Amino acid sequence: MNRASEGAPDTVKRALSDAIVKVGNAADQTLSAMLDASERTSAGNLGTQRKWQERCATATADISRAFGDAAKDNMLSPALQLFWYQALEHEMAFFDSLAKVQTPQLHDDLLVHQDLLNKMLGELWDKWTFLLSKDVIFENDQRQVVQQVSRMAQSIVDELAPGVLKRTSEGVARATAKSLGVALKLDDKLLGGMGVDLAKQLVSSLFNVDIPDEINRNLLDAAQGDSEIYQVQKGHYRNLVSAYQSLVQAEKGSVLLLFNATRAEVDTYRDKNDLGKAKVLLDQAKGYLSDWASRVPSSAQRSEASSFKDKVCSAIDTDWRLTEELDNKFRDKFKGIFVQSLGSETLEQLAESYLFRQHIEEITRKDAAGKLKALPGNLQSEVDSALERGLRPLDDLVNRVPEEVRELARMKNQQFKEHVRARLKDRIQALLPAIVELAALWDPNNLSRDFSREELEKALR
């Protein structure tokens, strides 16, 4: 300006100098206001692009007025007119081009991304807490069912299997009681005082009493009672399996369905709004402003534009660092839950496979299946022992009868025992199907299938 104003009146010089000061002040105030808008912008205070444009429009109006006021009452030389026109054009171009820069909008977009991420972080944690609380309710109900199964297994070991043996032994004792009663009335004096023929008749009648029928009746009652017990046990077991599996389906159709839907929503969100997308916003925001600063018309403006650009980019960088921190926090908090592959800890929290496997192994160690499988053999042993005890007086009788009828007594006694054992064997065989079927339910492999967590695991994978 100094060269262009050489020879101009002092009034013109003062007017132009005052105008330049006004233009500089207007430019400084505008840039300060725009920087302030960028530093104050937030998810709740957006519209930074509009604020920049409004400030640029005000600046160009003020600058145009300042240039116009300085020139309207003063005669400018051609050199000054050229300088004045170029200065006005440069200042107007500075703010006109700045108003078109998309940096403030991209900065706002970055803040919206940050705000959504922050809100999602809180909402997801609330949802995860809710899901776990609901899942615990289902799993507690399932655990109660399994605990009933455990008590049932313990009952088989402590009560059912021993009870069957006891009832069988008592049945044999009742069935042989009549033979004992008759045998105890006989002695060698009674038989010895009879003739041989009469003694033989008495011995034959002893072994032809309705003892086998009574044995059948007593054991039939015992067998029928045991069979009913087995049916009740099977029904109870199957009801527990049905209750457990219904609870598993309910958990699968509510908690796990919502969990999987939430994971899908997070995946969709992350696909569209991951940190890489936010980094693009950052780079574009800073890139557009840097490009503008490098293209301003004059060298003097470049220094001012560069300073403004650095300050605005610093404000954007501050928000970017917070975005990075939130993203890292989000990934760390939900890694293996809603982000990336499902973690083993999350799988266990939702399916509790290990915990329930421990419960089933504990039930298996009670060995209800083993006790039931051993029951037929134990029954036979118990029957043999009970018969030995119950029919021992008949053996004593054989040794007491007169020698003339002893062989007959021995033969009749043996036939009687074989007859009784055959009847008992039939009754034991009649119980076998029910015992085998009940034992199969308590087989470890069957327990693992009936109370499996596999469906829950599959639903999560």
Which two three-digit tokens encode residue 158?
Answer: 């402590």
Q: Are residues 377 and 456 in the same domain?
A: yes
DSSP 153-181: HHHIIIIIHHHHHHHHHHHHHHHHHHHHH
Residues 31 and 125 in one domain: no
Question: Which has the higher per-residue pLDDT, 295 or 71?
Answer: 295
**Bridge partners for 405 per DSSP:** none
Same domain, 88 and 124: no
Do the domain assignments include residue 22?
Answer: yes
> Are the C-beta atoms of 83 and 1 separated by less than 8 Å?
yes
pLDDT at position 391 is 74
Spatial distance between the Cα atoms of 174 and 221, rounded to a whole number of angstroms: 12
Query: Where is the domain boundary, 72, 100, 128?
Result: 100
Q: Is residue 321 part of a domain?
A: no
Average pLDDT over residues 337-350: 93
> What is the rounded average pLDDT of the residues 365-387?
85
CA–CA distance, 254 with 130 (Å, rounded to integer): 12
- The answer to the question of residue 286 being in a domain is no
85 and 183 part of one domain: no
| Residue 211 lies inside a defined structural domain of this protein | yes
Label residue 72 exposed, middle or buried (CB < 10 Å: 0-12, 13-18, 19+): exposed
Whether residue 12 contacts residue 80, with contact meaning beta carbons closer than 8 Å, is answered with: yes
Residue 327 is assigned to a structural domain of this protein: no
Q: Which residues contact 340 (CB under 8 A, 6 or more apart)?
A: 331
**75 lies in the same domain as 149:** no
CA distance 351 to 342: 12
Candidates 215, 222, 214, 159; CA nearest to 430 is 222
Average pLDDT rounded to a whole number, residues 95-117: 96
Backbone angles phi, psi at 8, to 5 degrees: -80, 150
Identify the weakest region by mean pLDDT among 195-209, 220-234, 245-259, 426-440: 195-209
Per mean pLDDT, which of 110-114, 170-174, 203-207 is the most reliable?
110-114
Whether 441 maps to a domain, the answer reads: yes
Conformational region of residue 352, where left means phi above 0, alpha means psi within -120 to 50, and beta covers everything else: left
User: In this predicted model, what pLDDT tens digit does every residue of 86-97 receive, in sequence order?
Assistant: 777 888 899 999
Which of 48, 72, 100 finishes a domain? 100
Q: Across residues 386-413, what is the average pLDDT?
A: 75
Give, for 301, the enclosing helix (H) or strand (E): helix 299-334
Task: Please indicate, yes or no, whether residues 128 and 163 belong to a single structural domain of this protein.
Answer: yes
pLDDT, position 410 = 80
Alpha-carbon 35 to chain mean position? 49
Mark which of 100, 130, 163 sits at the end of a domain. 100
What pLDDT does residue 78 have? 63
Distance CA 417, CA 388 (A): 9
Q: What is the mean pLDDT of residues 273-295?
A: 95
Count CB-CB contacts under 10 A for residue 96. 13
Rg of the chain on CA atoms, in Å = 51
* Spatial separation of the C-alpha atoms in residues 391 and 148, rounded to whole Å: 43
- Residue 423 — very low, low, confident or very high, per pLDDT cuts 50/70/90? confident
273 pLDDT more than 70: yes
End-to-end, the C-alpha distance of the chain in Å comes to 76
pLDDT at 5: 47
**Rounded Cα–Cα distance for residues 130 and 139 (Å):** 14
| Containing structural domain, residue 126 | 120-271+344-460
Selection from 79-83, 84-88, 172-176, 326-330 with the highest mean pLDDT: 326-330
**67 pLDDT above the threshold of 50:** yes
pLDDT at 267 (0 to 100) = 92
| Residue 318, in any domain of the structure | no
d(CA 40, CA 45): 8
pLDDT number for residue 390 = 75
Return d(Cα 174, Cα 197) in angstroms, integer: 31
Could you tell me if 89 and 226 lie in one domain? no
For residues 201, 207, 211, 215, the Cα torsion angle rounded to the nearest 10 degrees is -170
Residue 124 sits in the same domain as residue 251: yes
pLDDT of residue 4: 45
Weakest mean pLDDT among 18-22, 346-350, 367-371 = 18-22
In whole numbers, what is the pLDDT of the chain averaged over residues?
Answer: 84
Please provide the DSSP assignment of 394-409 as one string. Answer: HHHHHHHS-HHHHHHH
Among 8-12, 237-241, 360-364, 408-412, which stretch is predicted with the lowest mean pLDDT? 8-12
Highest mean pLDDT among 84-98, 202-216, 286-300, 421-435: 286-300
* 376 and 456 belong to one structural domain: yes
- Band (pLDDT 50/70/90 cuts) for residue 127 is very high
Based on the fold, state whether residues 265 and 405 are members of the same structural domain: yes
Residues 4 and 34 in one domain: yes
CA distances in angstroms from 141 to 147, 160, 444, listed in the order given = 10, 26, 22
State residue 45 phi and psi, 5-degree precision: -140, 70
CA distance 306 to 294: 8
Residue 330, in any domain of the structure: no
Q: Which pTM was predicted?
A: 0.75
Q: Which of 21, 30, 26 is nearest to 1 (CA)?
A: 21
Same domain, 261 and 407: yes
Strand partners, 339: 335
Do residues 77 and 22 lie in contact, with contact meaning Cβ atoms separated by under 8 Å? no
Q: What distance separates the 2 farthest-apart alpha carbons in the chain?
A: 177
Total domain count, the chain: 2
CA–CA separation, 80 and 75 (whole Å): 9
CA distance 31 to 264: 45
Q: Looking at the predicted structure, is the pLDDT value of residue 201 above 90? A: no
